[in-house]
Amino acid sequence: MGEIVRGRFLVRRWGPPAGVVEDGAVYVEDGQVRAADDYAVLRRHYPGAATLGDGTHLLMPGLVNSHSHGRGITTLRLGIPDEPGEIRSVGLRRGLSVDPYADVLLGCVRQLEAGITATMHLDSNYGGPPERYEERLSTIIRAYRTSGIRFSVGVGIRDQNTFGPYVGDAVFFARLPPEAQAEVAQWSNPVMPIADYLALCARLHDAFPAVDLQFAPVNPDGCTEDLLRALREQATARRVRINIHLLETPYQRAHAVERWGQTGVEWLARTGFLGPDVICAHCVWLTGRDVELMRETGAVVAHNPSSNLRLRSGVAPVRHMADRGVALALGTDNLGMNDDEDLLQEARLAQLLHSPPGLDLPALPAETVLGWATECGAEVLGARGLGRLEPGSPADLVLARLGPIARSIDGPESIAAAVVQWLRPPAVDVVMVAGRVVVRDGRYALADRDEIERAAYETVKRWAQGPAVRMLKDAVTDLYRAWPEGAAPSRGLRPRN
């Protein structure tokens, strides 16, 4: 016998038209939603089923984080400052000074307690032989499986420009002061031949056959044309999705034009790289033509509004993408506005950023951004039916206390606006993943939450910016300042042509 989960309002799915049922409920059995209807109807159909929820909550689909790096202890708390992406990445080349299992497990707990039931993990290869990276990835996957969250893992790869500047590693290394060269020479190299990478992915698939693994080239700037073409070919042959950072900064846009004589999106589309199986994170510096190509190819954009602001990357032309029918999803990038995993706050920020000033265009609907945070995120994970509560859907759901929000709800039509405006993680009461309760009374329920956090922080060695790292940052800064288009100003909501 399954279980009835009851709410004052049941949201079957976000997005117009919103499927909201007053005094609604779902019947959950074997990890799936078997029925979604009035509570009284389900009570009659399943008289012997236990009931979860007292009819005062908001019952809604679990949130889907479309872009994350699995960090429970954020980089800011590790001592890594919020700097522009190209400068910040210099220190990250050394790796993070925290145990990956403890870090990822804490990150999962934080996401679950915020109502995130599924997450996309983009992993960074910090260097070393393939066996070392394989061990790291195996450890990370074990942490996700222990946590109870639904997840996919992007296996990172790059084969050029490991320090960021687009002059090549040998040229950049030769420009460093001798003392910086001595330290950098000891750092592990993240470059991996494609044959080794594919063999690594095959071994991981054999070891974890139920886990969705995706190819994750770091970005076009860190990959040669040969690598990108090979990954596209292999992704098609193996039916593997591709997850890539794309045009996050103006420097990346300028480099693409210099390298290919066209934008990065134009080149990727022309070579057949883009498609519905490709997820592109950030996409801040798209042109108008780029937006059309994203729509035509069906590529998905993982939008990370807080991260784009914190790393001073800019404001993505998301309203233009939405108006043109580009597929969009929301992610935290582990750089939420308050250094948290509040995906609802990302939805609120996205709505504010991309609702244009003036009277000509309407505000971005709350239902739309909540759809990005649920069903559209499910596309990133390739999880059919996720992000909704309808018969046949996975039983990934949230019971949230309405509290003061209840006074602002006039009926089903006002729920989305109330959720985006006011709902925050402290209101999350119960979270279920695949029919299993993983959060109860707002606290992680599968293990001692405080012990998980203590264990994670016990492994931390605070990141110290030594002389060599400062020299590296100075060298990177000097190179980018020399680029004529490197410091392009911020611009409005519509992209440049």
| Domains with residue ranges and CATH for the chain | 62-388+450-460+463-481 (3.20.20.140)
pLDDT at 492: 34
Identify the H or E element spanning 444: strand 443-444
pLDDT at 480: 80
Q: Are 285 and 250 in contact (CB under 8 A)?
A: yes
376-380-383-388 Cα dihedral, nearest 10 degrees:
-20
Bridge partners (DSSP) listed for residue 217: 157
Q: Are 402 and 46 in contact (CB under 8 A)?
A: no
Across all residues in the chain, what is the average pLDDT?
91
Q: Are 63 and 96 in contact (CB under 8 A)?
A: no
Q: What is d(CA 444, CA 226) in angstroms, rounded to the nearest whole number?
A: 45
pLDDT at 483: 66
Q: Is the dihedral of CA 59, 376, 443, 406 positive or negative?
A: negative
Closest to 278 in 3D by CA, of 154, 380, 155, 385: 380
What is the model's pTM? Answer: 0.94
166-179 core/surface letters (b: 16 or more CB in 10 A; e: else): beebeebeeebeee
pLDDT at 462: 66
pLDDT at 149: 98
Closest to 4 in 3D by CA, of 35, 173, 23: 35
The upper half-sphere exposure of residue 372, i.e. CA atoms within 13 Å in the direction of its Cβ, equals 34
Q: What is d(CA 463, CA 448) in angstroms, rounded to the nearest whole number?
A: 27
All residue ranges of the chain with pLDDT < 50 are: 485-497
130-136-141-142 Cα dihedral, nearest 10 degrees:
130
Residue 116 corresponds to which tokens in the numbers above?
């995130």
The DSSP result for 166-207, as a single string, is TT-HHHHHHHS-HHHHHHHTTSPP----HHHHHHHHHHHHHH
Q: What is d(CA 479, CA 417) in angstroms, rounded to the nearest whole number?
A: 46
pLDDT at 179: 83
Output DSSP code: residue 394.
Answer: B
pLDDT at 404: 74
* Residue whose entry in the numeric block shows the structure tokens 């910090």: 126
Output DSSP code: residue 48.
Answer: T
Burial class (CB in 10 A: 0-12, 13-18, 19+), 229: middle
pLDDT at 16: 63
> Rounded to 5 degrees, what are φ and ψ at 431?
-130, 135
Identify the H or E element spanning 112: helix 100-113
Segments in 373-466 forming alpha helices (H): 375-381, 415-422, 449-458
The CB density around residue 493, as the number of other CB atoms within 10 Å, is 17
Residues in Cβ contact with 22 at an 8 Å cutoff, skipping those fewer than 6 apart: 8, 9, 411, 412
| C-alpha of 125 from chain center | 17
| C-alpha of 89 from chain center | 18
| C-alpha of 413 from chain center | 29
